[in-house]
Copies of this chain bind each other. A is one copy, B any other.
Amino acid sequence: MSRSLDEKQFLENYDIHQYDVPLTSVDVVVFTIINEQVHVLINQRSDFPFKNKWATPGGFIDLKKDKSIDDTAKRKLKEKTGYDAPYLEQMGSIGNAKRDPRGWSVTVTYFALVNADNVTFGEDCKWCGLNDEGETGEKLAFDHNELIKDAFERLRNKAQYSTIVLHVLPEKFTLSELQNSYEIILGGKLNKAGFRRRILKANVIEELEGESKQTATRTAQLYRKVDDEEVHFYMREIYAR
């Protein structure tokens, strides 16, 4: 009894402001494909530090609005892009004394995959192309160049053994378009017959009966993602050559 009274008392008197605590934030690396190239979304900072510099979308947890850290990531993404439920996955956390000039900082990082046509944003955001090493060519705020590079590596890695790439495609797409997206992300060519076998066996897409797309030469069958939001994982990896 007295122990739980003690605990009650402890909690009533607890004040986090008495302690030296780190800054804790969230960052989201949003990937898409535009003009046969991987792009990430960057956002121009409106406040210090790094005011007016470009950075990945993110910010602090709102202890009132956000029920969980995933909520924070979703909220930030929605605020910047008006986009609601794309593929969003927690990637990891970076925390050290140097990354933020304000002091010791921890950021929980996420990465998202979106179809560019579904995203709208204002003057403070833009898409930024990545080279084969995951580099933007711009000097971003904080350690965000590094962050994007790591996220790109993770994306490329995961594309080797999952159906994750589906999320950059529009509602309807052909198998050639899907393969092309894989090739852009993986940075090499895939075997056509093998790719088709693999993706069809995974049961993550379905034919749109009677719907086909005009290409430069003959028509191609259109497909869509199966309702099920899950990512399929293969037992073997593929290699792009």
Interface residues of A, Cβ cutoff 8 Å to B: 3, 6-7, 10-11, 14, 16-17, 19-24, 48-52, 60-61, 63-64, 66-69, 72, 90, 92-97, 101-104, 106, 108, 235-237
Contacts and interface: CB of A to CB of B under 8 A. Distances in A.
Nearest to A92: B90
A103 B16 contact: yes
A93 B108 contact: yes
A38 to B, nearest CB: 23
Nearest to A47: B10
A90 B96 CA distance: 14
A14 to B, nearest CB: 5
Contact of A101 (B11, B22, B49, B235): B11
Contacts of A6: 48, 51
Contacts of A24: 21-22, 24, 95, 106
B20 A63 contact: yes
Contacts of A63: 20-22, 97, 103-104
A177 B3 CA distance: 46
19 contacts: A6-B48, A7-B49, A7-B50, A10-B49, A11-B102, A14-B102, A16-B102, A16-B103, A17-B17, A20-B64, A24-B106, A61-B95, A61-B104, A66-B97, A67-B96, A69-B96, A90-B92, A93-B93, A106-B108
Contacts of A95: 24, 61, 68-69, 72, 108
Contact of A96 (B14, B68, B237): B68
Nearest to A20: B63
A230 to B, nearest CB: 15
A84 to B, nearest CB: 20
B108 A3 contact: no
Nearest to A9: B48
Contact of A23 (B21, B66, B102): B21
A20 B60 CA distance: 10
Nearest to A239: B235
A61 B22 CA distance: 8
Contacts of A22: 24, 61, 63
Contact of A94 (B21, B69, B235): B69
Q: Which of A51, A67, A69, A235 has the most CB of B within 10 A?
A: A69
